[in-house]
Each structure stands twice: as C-alpha cells, then as structure tokens.
Structure 1
Amino acid sequence: MVTALTTTADKASNALVASRMKNGRFINSFNPQYKSPHLGLVLVWKMTSSDNTRSPSNKKELDKMLPVIRHKKSEELYRTKFGLRFIWIGHASCFVQMNNFRFLVDPIFSERCGMASFIGPKRFRPPALLINDLPDDLDAIFISHNHFDHLDYPSVKELNKRYGKQLTWFCGRGTRKWFLDNHVKNIVELDWSRRTAFDMNKSLWGGFIVWNATHKFYFAGDTGYTQNISIFRQIGEKYGSFDLSAIPIGAYEPH
C-alpha cells in the first residue's frame, strides 16, 4: 500500500492533511502564514554568505570523510535476507526493496541539477548506483516535489527509456502534466513547490509512506524540522512505527 502524508481516508477528521490553495497556489497547512523570501533577498544571501559546510576541497580527504561505495548490478546486490533492502544513491535519491516490491525515490543521476546540464549546483559525490545497475524488475518511482534536485529531467528520461510502462510514477498534485509532456505514462498524482522562480507552490510537495504486510518505509522529501510544530511526532503517532526512514538534515538557509 502507498499513501501520501496528505492523502488519507479520514482527511475530514484532520485538517492538517488536506491541501489548501490561496490565489491559485498551495500553502503549507502547518504554517499558512509563511512567506518565502523574495528573489532579491535570496541573491543577497547567496553573495554574502560563507560556506559553513566545512567540507574538504581535497578529493582524498573527501573520499575519506564521505566515501562512495559503488554498487554494480548483480543478483547478490538485490537479494534480501529479511525482505528489506536500502541503498542510498546520494542526496535524496534512494533505492528501496520491500519483499518483491522495488522502487526509487527522487532519483537524480545527473552531474548537475538545473534547467540545463551546465546550470545549477554540481553534485557533491558521485551516485552509488547508475541507471544501468538497477534491477530489471523495478516497479515504481516516487517524486516528493518538483525541485530540480528531486525531479531531474535527464534521469526521468533515461529511466522512462529503459522501463517505459513497466514503472508507476507517484507524484504530488499539479505535477502530472509535466510527466505527460515528457512522455511518461502510468502516473499516480497524489494530493499533497517550486521548480522555477515563477511557479512557486503551483504543485504539491510532501513525503511518502510505503508499506506492505511486513514492512513500513517513510520518505520525508524536503520536510523540515521545526520546534514549534511537532510534524514528525504527528506522523509517527498516526502512521508509525517505521522499519526504515529517510529524513533530510540541515539545509535550513536562507531563513
């Protein structure tokens, strides 16, 4: 079974899980008064901020601090003893296997994420898996939201070329047209982001919970932690406990 955190049978009993729109754009139900900083403030922050990551520029040190285990396609790679298999590909991209159900979340295999191959942030580490290394019987792909570092056109194109109608694509409301325009079929659009500077909150963002009779997996997408709203506690109480979770940490600037 697959559910989006904002698509449940009892949404009438919990207003937090219902998507809301204002002036043609989605708003965050947990903080409806929030306003994103305008482009000018973001540019000023970008030009005046310093690199606080403390990441080494030396490749040898980087390989030691954050090594990448390159996985090659093999029967052993996708064999599970307890019916659960997880491979962190890099950034938000993950491969998950729950018994015989195999899927990807937010797959990006490109060197850069942006409107073109030469624009946008360069990936910090190479992917641990390549598309050719994925199993032949991949079932589904989940897209949490349409930012370039989560919804990557070259990666979608190559995955669609290899798997075609075999895959089911799960995405947030408002993203279906993008997939259809790029010749992707079998799209499940779920209720509950900005891709460019001009389409903020035109499509929904969110996380996913995937579960079967024996395992339960939670993918948070870009869901951020806040001290004022116990969103993760609510998720845990409503859907937990989980056997496996992929939750982002950091990346809280600019405020």
Structure 2
Amino acid sequence: MNTLKLLDQLLKSGSSQSTSGQPASSSGGSALSGLSQMLSGKGGAALGGGALGLLLGSKKGRKLGGKVLTYGGLAALGVVAYKAYGNWQKNQQGAAQHEPQTIDRLPPPQAEQHGRAILAAVIAAAKADGHIDDRERELIDQEVAKFTRDQAFIQWVDAQIKAPLDPAQIAALASSEELAAEMYLASVLVIDEESYMERSYLEELVRQLRLSPSLVDELKRQAREAEQLCQS
C-alpha cells in the first residue's frame, strides 16, 4: 500500500500550508505546492528534509480542481474522474456502458497497481521542466527510504525518477480509459501552466493517452464544479 499512501499524502498535504509556511490561499494550493510542502516536513508531513521537493523547483502548478483534490486526496481524484467518465460515457451513442472503475472503487490489490500508474504520471509531470540532477536524485532516494523500507518500492520510485521523460511510456501504463483520466487529472495538478515545456508535455501526454477531447473537457468541468462546491 506504499503507493496509495504516498499518493494520498502528496495530494492532501496541499490543503494546510503553502510552501512558504503560510496558510493556503482561498483558491487552494495545488498538489504541486502540497508536494513541496509535504516533503519539507511542514504540516506534520511524513517525509522530511525537503529533498523530494527538488522535483518541483519553483513551479506554480495549475489550479484546476486544486482545493477539492488537495483536501480530498486520492479518493477525491477518483470521485472526480468517476463522475466525469460516467457523464462522458452516457453521451457516447452506441457505446457499451459500464460502471467506471476509478481508484476509489477498486479492491486494494488493483488499487495499488492503479495508483502506481498515477504516481508515475505525477513523477513524470514533475520532471517535465528538466529540473533534477544526479545529486538531487540521490537525495530523493534517501527521502523515499525514510518513508518506507520496501526496497522494491524504493527501487521503482528511483527508476521512475531516473527514466528519460517519455509521455508515450507513461501513457502505456494506462490500462483503461478511467485510469487514463485519473493520470491526466493528477498530471494537470503538477504542471506549471506558465511553462511552455510543461504545457507541451501535458498536450503530448493527452495525445498518447488517446483521451477524447470531450472527455478532457468533462474532466475539467467536473474538477471546476467540485472546486466550486468546496468553496461554497
């Protein structure tokens, strides 16, 4: 369950403080700022030392659904994807209908595997600006080792960090459209909307995930609706 615990903390940690230690603004922190904060040990976070925050540099992150996803964590990510996918599916004329299998509705073994694909997407999105060198990788390895003693998991995270940035490889981890939708949502939270390199990465990821433009639009709509409910 290391993957799910780490993912949940990455998302939820954005709801308490900003990376500067100040309360999050009313627009809500992104998972990106939450990741940096969590890894610097603020807000009672599990990982200390700040090394994993090196993944993030000074990126600002997007705000799409940021508040509701950081408060709700991984479950909220699944709920938003579930509703968006379900609505989109109903509008596909002639398509077979099925209950969306998002991460909040899967049994633990399947959810863990599902979560790995999402975590891989988060790590890749965090690397999209090319920011991370060998020394930083070593520090990141050390911090992951503080989080868990599971050597297989530590090695897997290390491999994701060291792997060349390849949207096609990340997209290949999506075994279903629902998972692709969740990987997209998680990536959006980590991408800096002001960075051309990162926007380009996200656009290519969407293409490689083969997400329908109408599904992407529905995901954005559901994230914004959830955000509005959270703020009301």
TM-score w.r.t. length of structure 1: 0.27
Q: Choose 1 or 2 for highest CA Rg.
A: 1
Which structure carries more strand by proportion?
Answer: 1
Which structure carries more helix by proportion?
Answer: 2
TM-score w.r.t. length of structure 2: 0.29
